[in-house]
Chains A and B, each alone.
Chain A
């Protein structure tokens, strides 16, 4: 059984079709990277998975269970298993770091506060922010905020972590710290779908690279295959551009 199985998934914003027949499987412990030009539907795919954008067709199974995106309770169950981190961190500005990380486990999952806080401290230490527990988001750098956002997602104890261009809003010198955090997660066995333009990083960390274009998957395979011998012109053109930069 696959950890996540996406079959012929489609989605649209009104008449604008942005995902067409996307099929993808992710096994436990795998890191899958989504690459592709801007507007190719990478973010939309992640948004559909967590129920922020409705699909127009296809199915998603997580650990063998079909998610019904028309049902609130089914979406809830899927969100218990998947956590998403956004490009712009989207931290709650009215809460300090500890608050951001613990609020959902305490208020939504109704877990014991002491236990959650102890875990949160561990998590924040893992992402290198043990000394920032009482800082507010606007007192942190972008890289620090993004690491808080990752800790917040991990505090939900997800089976699958979705990372949407988590480094592209960051200054170059802050990128490394966030990538290090993700590397550590990967070596801890976290299952992840990563959207990224950091091709070196993608190549190093991914078990599989999936390239999207205009809402479709046009190429997939091991990093070496994709980067070194892309089969489509579109992919060649894309990598040519990106790698030349």
Chain B
């Protein structure tokens, strides 16, 4: 068997196969970055809405909280199918990539908003009261006081989430998006041995996650040191 694998290796790295795998890897990366990135921005919006004061905003708060609580609890694959059927119903030409990215984003909103909220809540309430006594609006307090102090609390888990989410994107192969896992299946069907193909896929996943982990670690250190300069 080893001999067979050895013979296959040159073929696997033939131009077309290599390009196919790299493209799939790009798809995985792009889906994750766009999905989680957008999810992060919208997660921020959700937190802002959740923390609106007063009776008037109660419905908005309920919607925001319900969204987060529901989407954190249903499996990603289920979200994916829901998005697939919903989007195909309203826009039959939407690409599978778009659908998958939206699914990732919807999931990421729920998780990242909890990360962001924990970060915001790490800032002592007294500083917020001080700001408010100086006539800071909610938004100005957020931008000038809360956000700058909560990044160090937000960034490490946010990166950890993104890295772990790279793995979850494998589920997207279920709806036929040609990302890394799907590419593995295709290669396997083309006759390459499973061990070789999935071994390669494993390495490629690692190549995607590792730099992100390092980047997260680097940012964490920078935040830690920027405090005492």
Bound form: Cα–Cα A54–B102 in Å: 44
- Counting contact residues on chain B (CB < 8 A from A), the size range is 10 to 19
Q: Contact check, B133 vs A79: say whether CB atoms are below 8 A apart.
A: yes
Given A76-B135, A84-B133, A103-B144, verify A94-B149 contact (CB < 8 Å). Answer: yes
Q: Contact check, A92 vs B145: say whether CB atoms are below 8 A apart.
A: yes
Residues 66-99 of chain B, each 1 if its beta carbon lies under 8 Å from chain A, else 0: 0000000000000000000000000000000000
Q: Contact check, A52 vs B135: say whether CB atoms are below 8 A apart.
A: no
For B129, list chain A residues within 8 Å (CB): 52, 86, 90
The count of A-to-B residue pairs whose CB atoms sit within 8 angstroms is: 51
B16 to chain A minimum Cβ distance, whole angstroms, is 52
For B148, list chain A residues within 8 Å (CB): 94
Q: Contact check, A93 vs B127: say whether CB atoms are below 8 A apart.
A: yes
Bound form: Cα–Cα A86–B130 in Å: 8
Q: Contact check, B134 vs A92: say whether CB atoms are below 8 A apart.
A: no
Bound form: Cα–Cα A90–B134 in Å: 12
A194 to chain B minimum Cβ distance, whole angstroms, is 17
Residues 37-63 of chain A, each 1 if its beta carbon lies under 8 Å from chain B, else 0: 000000000000011100000000000
Q: Which of A72-90 touch B at CB < 8 Å?
A: 76, 79-80, 83-84, 86, 88, 90
Name A's interface SS: loop
Name B's interface SS: helix
Given A103-B144, A107-B144, verify A90-B126 contact (CB < 8 Å). Answer: yes
Residue of B nearest to A76 (CB): B135
- Residue picked from B127, B130, B131, most chain A C-beta under 10 Å: B130
Q: Which of B127-149 touch A at CB < 8 Å?
A: 127, 129-136, 140, 144-145, 148-149
Q: Contact check, B140 vs A107: say whether CB atoms are below 8 A apart.
A: yes
Q: Contact check, A104 vs B134: say whether CB atoms are below 8 A apart.
A: yes
For B131, list chain A residues within 8 Å (CB): 92
Q: Which of A83-125 touch B at CB < 8 Å?
A: 83-84, 86, 88, 90-94, 103-104, 107-109
Bound form: Cα–Cα A52–B131 in Å: 11
Given A90-B126, A92-B127, A107-B144, verify A83-B133 contact (CB < 8 Å). Answer: yes
For A104, list chain B residues within 8 Å (CB): 134-136
Q: Contact check, B136 vs A52: say whether CB atoms are below 8 A apart.
A: no
For A51, list chain B residues within 8 Å (CB): 133
Q: Contact check, A90 vs B127: say whether CB atoms are below 8 A apart.
A: yes
A156 within 8 A of B: yes
B95 to chain A minimum Cβ distance, whole angstroms, is 42
Q: Contact check, A156 vs B126: say whether CB atoms are below 8 A apart.
A: no
Q: Contact check, A108 vs B140: say whether CB atoms are below 8 A apart.
A: yes
Residues 184-205 of chain B, each 1 if its beta carbon lies under 8 Å from chain A, else 0: 0000000000000000000000
Q: Contact check, B140 vs A88: say whether CB atoms are below 8 A apart.
A: no
Q: Please tell me which one of the listed residues A83, A88, A93, A94 contacts residue B134 in the complex, with CB atoms under 8 A apart.
A: A83
Residue of A nearest to B129 (CB): A52
Q: Contact check, B133 vs A108: say whether CB atoms are below 8 A apart.
A: no
For B134, list chain A residues within 8 Å (CB): 79, 83, 104, 108, 152, 156
B146 to chain A minimum Cβ distance, whole angstroms, is 9
Bound form: Cα–Cα A103–B145 in Å: 10
Q: Contact check, B126 vs A88: say whether CB atoms are below 8 A apart.
A: yes
Bound form: Cα–Cα A91–B131 in Å: 9
- Residue picked from B132, B144, B145, B149, most chain A C-beta under 10 Å: B144
For A50, list chain B residues within 8 Å (CB): 133
A92 to chain B minimum Cβ distance, whole angstroms, is 5
Question: What 7 pairs across the A-B complex have the smallest Cβ distances?
Answer: A90-B130, A94-B148, A104-B134, A90-B126, A79-B135, A50-B133, A94-B149
What are 6 contact pairs spanning A and B, CB under 8 A? A52-B129, A79-B133, A80-B135, A86-B129, A91-B130, A109-B135
| Interface of A toward B, CB cutoff 8 Å | 50-52, 76, 79-80, 83-84, 86, 88, 90-94, 103-104, 107-109, 136, 138, 152, 156
Given A86-B126, A108-B140, A138-B227, 11 additional A-B pairs, CB 8 A: A50-B133, A83-B133, A90-B126, A92-B127, A92-B131, A94-B149, A103-B144, A104-B134, A109-B135, A136-B227, A138-B228
| Interface of B toward A, CB cutoff 8 Å | 124, 126-127, 129-136, 140, 144-145, 148-149, 227-228
